[in-house]
Chain A
């Protein structure tokens, strides 16, 4: 994933926490994703712990009234932002009893404002039906950052049900900002096979190739091969869209690693994409292969390129990388 895209995702998360427009924090980009994330941890700490006494007082008051009263007070007086903070201090059983009585629209606002890591015990106990209805509201409201933060706290059965209310484009956007990247592989395994074509289609229709390639780069095994072949099986205009997006967004370091897992017919189709003839694309491919040491990933495509395109590519490779071009690739000349 390009560093700039990852940093942008972290800025969005911080903006949500501070309840400001992401554009206001655009100046943080030079700090990089890791430092923006670390800053978000610090801001989370000061927001949760800075008013701990007041939050504990509210939580204590809620303990002595029935859950339905707490739910009424939550909606009419406390509001979703403070409820989000309270999830870090209240008893899990009490919190779930109140959450069951809150409408999904309200809980969706709470979800946007809360830190799921501080309410893991609560999240796992929320009934599936409620989680799915909240996921539906978050999808409609395009709150992908919030959704991506909760995945690590939900079991597979719940995620599978939530996938039923999340459209393909939203799934790609959520995967892009997923807090626990190691879960992407497992989540994509839960996506029905028949939806893979839709993911590719959404990537093309909504210009989500950066998000799609980021998601695909975290997938392994059978699913990775399926996605790679699904991408290669696209109509020429869609394939060209993928190739040009990879060039424009500097994503060849994410796209080339899919080549080795494509089927042979997939590689043949991919290599035939007209956009691969474009000079800017040839240069971008070679530069990515050289910078990220992806020559072995390029080879399965290079062998199927039209002779003139292959010659152009090898020429650029020689200029850019000289002796670093492996013999297996040089011998294609």
Chain B
């Protein structure tokens, strides 16, 4: 179960890196919202990557889809 503490959530959002001292010293509600914003940006990026992967091949001319799939290991 993920640690709900804001500082732990922020560290996790940053990929395990400790944030700067001034950020850590901020009120917990600010830290929590910051962690949420960063996690949201990462999740959005992952969703976009999945969508791009699904949709990109459809825009590649048929004759080139084979080589692209081969490079991508599909």
Residues of A with Cβ closer than 8 Å to B? 17-20, 24-25, 27-28, 30-32, 34-36, 38-39, 42-43, 45-47, 49-51, 54-55, 57-58, 60-61, 63-65, 69, 72-73, 76-79, 81-82, 85
Contacts and interface: CB of A to CB of B under 8 A. Distances in A.
A85 B49 CA distance: 10
Contact of B45 (A25, A30, A51, A61): A51
Contacts of B42: 46-47, 50
A89 to B, nearest CB: 12
B30 A27 contact: yes
Contact of B56 (A46, A51, A77): A77
A45 B42 CA distance: 11
Contacts of A51: 45-46, 49
* The 9 residue pairs across chains A and B that have the minimum distance between CB atoms: A35-B22, A31-B22, A27-B30, A35-B20, A77-B55, A46-B15, A77-B56, A38-B20, A64-B67
B26 A28 contact: yes
Give chain A's interface secondary structure class: helix
B52 A39 contact: no
A64 B68 contact: yes
Given A64-B68, A65-B60, A76-B59, A25 B37 contact: yes
A17 B68 contact: no
- Interface core residue of A36, A49, A57, A85 (most chain B CB under 10 Å): A57
Nearest to B48: A82
B45 A82 contact: yes
Contacts of A36: 22-23
Contacts of B1: none
B38 A61 contact: no
B59 A77 contact: yes
Given A27-B33, A64-B67, A39 B20 contact: yes
B18 to A, nearest CB: 9
Contacts of A60: 71-72
